[in-house]
Structures are given as C-alpha cells and as structure tokens.
Amino acid sequence: MSTVRNKDDFDWTQPSVGRLFEFLQEHTKWNREFQEREYARCLAGCHSARERLTSFLHLNVSTQSSADMNDLLGFWKTLHGAAPEQTASLKAFTAYLVDSSKGHAKNGKSPFTAREAETDDWAALFLALHARPGWGIKTTALFVKAAIRLHRGPQALHFWPDAWQGSAGSLQSKPYLPVDRVILHIFKTLGHPCPRVENINSGLRNRYSAEQMLTWDDLWFWGFFTQTGTDGERELGWNSGKFWSQLSSSKNDETQLRSLGETFIGLLTAKS
C-alpha cells in the first residue's frame, strides 16, 4: 500500500487546530492594535479620503515581494484618472474598476462568485481588483482584508463611508486570507503535507464563519514574530530583532508578547 499522502490530506478537525483558534481568539487585540498603528502611520499625512485610499492601496501592494510594477502600471493610471465621485465610496470604486476593466479581464479563478458579488460589497471589490493585471490573489486578499479591518477601527482613517463595519457579524462573505510564507510554515509545522494558499483557505473557509476568518488572519502576527530564517530554513522562536525593527510593535509589552509567542509555538508543536 502506498504511503504517499494526498497534498490536501489534512485533518482540520484535529484538536490542535481548535486550540490554535482559541488562542487567536483570546489574544486578538495584539494584532488589531499593531495593524491600527500601521494604518495610522501610513495615513497620518493624508488630507482627504481620496489620499487615504491611494496611500492604503500603495501600502498593501508594497508589502508584496512578488508584485510586478509593470503589470500594475495600468491600475495606477486608472486610479489617477478617476473622478472624485468614482472613489468616494466602496460601491462607486468597485463599479469604476469594473467599468474600466471591460474588454481587459484577466484570466484566473477567484474564490468569490458573481452571485456573491451581487449581494456583498467586499466580494464585489475582490472580483473587481482581482480582474486587474498585477493584482494576484494574495495581493487582492491582503487589501480587501485590510480595508475591512481599517473600517472597523478609528473613523479618522476611513476612506469609504459605506464600508464602515459598525458591529461584529456584519460580514456576509468570508474573507480570503492572504496566506504568505509565514502562514505556510505554520501549517507545515502543524502537519499539513503540502500547505498552499488555496488549500489553507479552502480548509478554513469550509469550517469557520466570516468573523472567525478575520480571527484566523491573526496567524500572521504571531507567526511573523516567532519565526527566524527564510523558506525551508525557518526556525521557531521569539525573534526580538524582528520585533524591535517594527515601528508599530508594542515595545513595552515585549515580555508578555514573548511569553504568548512561546505559548503559540507550543500549540504548533504539541502532539494532537
């Protein structure tokens, strides 16, 4: 009998996954506060909603190591040419992207359907962005997720009045996680035979609600500060150098965060 495991052969119901989610739920404030400081730092010099939107788009795209600037050229020109009313709301900006993309649609599977986009503004934005050259699935997922988070935080940073997330539970569609190498390593440590962006999202979105998917997004925060090295050479352990290099990290709380980071690592390495 073959002992080769299927690349998607991972038990999402195992206790270790549940315990990891409980940890993220209990300590979600740390990533939320970190991200809010990042957003405030990026948008502090903006004088209008249009400037905040533009800066926020650049912030999220610039974090992607594989972003192709030449592919994105058309998008930035389209954004620059938009009339004020075409960027003034989530619905208007999405409609503008759709109209300006006609005849130039990009091939590629999206995690959202056209039917979902008819009833959910965030799903519609995801489809509209992902159709643009240069907007890969991870970059699109990152911006949409970040925009959801931003519009749940301080209103002074908002750029779309119709995107305000006034209460938990208001999300209709499940956010698609921007899975990067940090998160891939987490699931590899948990025992996933072949973690990928698609199968991690599929596994989580099949079992968790829209609000819970935002909680799973906190994986990046804990993974980022507890990993050293790159790709196949990653090691687990609190990374003080990385922590202190981040302008938005809570320096006065490092002792507590180090302890929580060690708990996080223990959850990844414990036997189910």
* Same domain membership, residue 148 and residue 221: no
Task: Summarize pLDDT for 47-66 with one digit per residue, the tens.
Answer: 999 999 999 999 999 987 76
The answer to whether residue 140 is domain-embedded is yes
Last residue of a domain, one of 167, 195, 224: 167
At 235, phi and psi to the nearest 5?
-125, 150
What value does the mean pLDDT of the chain take? 91
Residues 56 and 26 in one domain: no
Q: Which of 135, 167, 199 is the last residue of a domain?
A: 167
| Domain enclosing residue 113, as ranges | 46-167
Does one domain contain both 50 and 159? yes
Burial category of 245 from C-beta neighbours within 10 Å (exposed 0-12, middle 13-18, buried 19 and up): exposed
Write down the pLDDT at residue 141. 96
The answer to whether residues 26 and 82 belong to one domain is: no
Do 159 and 213 fall into the same domain? no
83-106 pLDDT per residue, tens: 999 999 999 999 999 999 876 656
Task: Enter the tokens of residue 57.
Answer: 């788009």
Is residue 207 situated within a structural domain? yes
Final residue of a domain: which of 167, 189, 204? Answer: 167
pLDDT bin (cut points 50, 70, 90) of residue 2 is very low
pLDDT band at 17 (very low <50, low <70, confident <90, very high): very high
Q: Are residue 114 and residue 198 in the same domain, yes or no?
A: no
From residue 200, alpha-carbon distances to 125, 164, 247, 271 in Å are: 22, 28, 30, 20
Residue 227's DSSP bridge partners are 236
Domain count, the chain: 2
b/e map 126-141, b = 16+ CB within 10 Å: bbbbbbbbbbbbbbbb
Is 78 among the domain residues? yes
CA distance 185 to 190: 9
User: Among the residues of the chain, which ranges form H helices?
Assistant: 15-26, 28-43, 49-62, 69-80, 90-101, 114-119, 121-130, 137-150, 181-190, 197-205, 210-216, 219-224, 240-245, 254-269
| Cα separation, 72 vs 69, whole angstroms | 5
